[in-house]
Amino acid sequence: MKLYLATTNAHKIVELESMLEDAGLGYEVHGADTLGGMPPVVEDQDTFTGNALKKARALAERLPEDGIALADDSGICIDAFDGAPGVYSARYAGEGASDEANLVKLISEMETVPDGQRGGRFVCRLAAVSATGQEAVFEGEIEGEILRERRGQNGFGYDPVFKPIGRNRTTAEMAPEEKAAISHRGRAMRAFTDWLSSFAQEL
């Protein structure tokens, strides 16, 4: 069985590949480039699940018979903003915005949010679509606090200002394996690998 990652985000590819390797499942992991590239997908759904499935389904059309497309849609949801930026997290500062631009905008927009009201969560949905049409979605979330200033050099996206509840460091201050153990993507990935083990036995 071969897994194909339905993303062009280099940071997500590194994280997902590392998590799959740590799971020790022994399956081949490939980027979408090995199938001719990721098909163009307009992420116009209003839920993380909808966007993840749309991306996985698009790549699944190019899969070999033993392939599974795995797509991630994730973002940050701020309590004070009624859950925004949510599905728009990657383009919070505009279409094609960089991680830096999105982070700068979030810090600026939250400047007037008082301490004690700066809660939020990272949300991840992983969608798996097999070459034979089976579909499944896996969820992961982590609650935290949005800091006023960035801390740490690891991770990507909004990691430098996200401090998980019960932790004294941001996810950007954590080593990759520590972050994966508690993160939204790590939790979704563990659910996926549990499903994948059962799915493989049914083949």
| 66 a catalytic residue | no
CB atoms within 10 A of CB 83: 15
- Give pLDDT tens digits for 123-176: 999 999 999 999 999 999 999 999 999 999 999 999 999 999 999 999 999 999
Q: How many separate domains does the chain show?
A: 1
Choice among 73, 79, 99, 194 that is catalytic: 73
Q: Report the CATH number at residue 165.
A: 3.90.950.10
| Residue 11, pLDDT score | 82
pLDDT tens digits, residue range 168-181?
999 999 999 999 99
The pTM (predicted TM-score) of the whole model is 0.92
Q: Which domain holds residue 81?
A: 2-202
